[in-house]
Amino acid sequence: MNIAIIGGGSVGLLLAARLCLAGSKVQVITRTRQQADELTKHGLLLHSLQGEQKRIHIQAVSMEGDLPKADLYVLAVKQTSLTEVLPVLRKIDPSARVLAVQNGMGHDDHLKEVLALNQIYFGVHAEGARRHSYTEVEHTGRGIWQVGSIIGQAQESLPVDPVIEAFLSVGEVAGLTIKYVFDIHGVMWRKLMANAVINPLTTLFEIPNGALLESSDTVTLMKRLFVEAKEVASLHGQKIDESTWQEIVQICRNTSRNYSSMLQDLLNCRPLEIEAINGYIVKQGRERNIATPHQEAVYKATLLKAGLMAQRG
């Protein structure tokens, strides 16, 4: 199958590298011509979990004009860049499928504007990745990939789409721990819960994930953010319990030395996905008359910090 990965950030480059090493036909579609040219000229340098370095020849083009033909488009741009991609997604072949791997929520509404429902799939992963440059990415942590249709549990009686089934197969060959799930929306909500607790606090305090557990004060803040997000999630039919809290704590332990994607964006002066994470929870709370004071506080504080850092350059 032909796979096109839209986005040359940490997740897109890591996935491209692993699929290429397994023999898959992959093309990276970057936002800038400069990155596409550098990837084509120099290849992609992968730092593996084992500390090895591998230079991978990779095909890359910039996001100008129509997208190259593919069976599957992995949408790996940030939420903040999604609107730039929508016009070209509108033109893809109806037989193609799109796998969106964004953090946060709300992107489903954008995708439904330009794609048929049977084309839209979501991917939720726990892989750790860090991009060092346009042509260099580090694999910092292994995690599970979960894939499912926007139609969700309504599709449970239907066979898995052949394009998605083929991607699951090539993913396994590439060493991904990957599975198909029918309740992808539940998985997305649990990922949102983790991001809404971990990301803003690590960003505000500029600490790795594991440091959140080293102070009773930060653990208390985490728990308050969790409880508010849980109340909002429950009105969306999500059953969030103590096990979800324990999952978040375990994520901090498993990725103790990792910097959250939001903190990496802040330190590299990139736009933050705060609107699609804590901002989404605050907005949903307001619409349903649920108070989320701690979520709103970290949301506003993170926006303020990002603005101040941008002014300083």
Q: Which residues form the catalytic set?
A: 191
3-state secondary structure of 37: helix
Q: What's the CA gap between 296 and 287, in Å, rounded?
A: 14
* C-alpha span between 247 and 22 (Å, rounded): 31
Whole-angstrom distance, CA of residue 281 vs CA of residue 293: 11
Q: Are 147 and 168 in contact (CB under 8 A)?
A: yes
Residue 70 token pair: 């593919």
User: Cβ neighbours of residue 80 under 8 Å, at least 6 residues apart?
Assistant: 271, 272, 273, 275
CA distances from 284 to 223, 235, 294, 295 (A): 19, 9, 14, 11
Phi, psi (rounded to 5 degrees) for 46: -105, 130
Element spanning 35, H or E: helix 33-42
The residue type of 9 is G
Distance between alpha carbon 89 and the CA centroid of its chain, in Å?
A: 18
Residues 6+ apart with CB under 8 A from 281: 192, 196, 228, 229, 232, 292, 295
Look at strands 2-6 and 44-47 and give their pairing.
unpaired
Q: How far apart are the first and last CA of the chain?
A: 43
- Residue 152 region, left (φ>0) first, then alpha (ψ -120 to 50), else beta? left
Distance CA 166, CA 154 (A): 21
**Single-letter amino acid, residue 192:** L
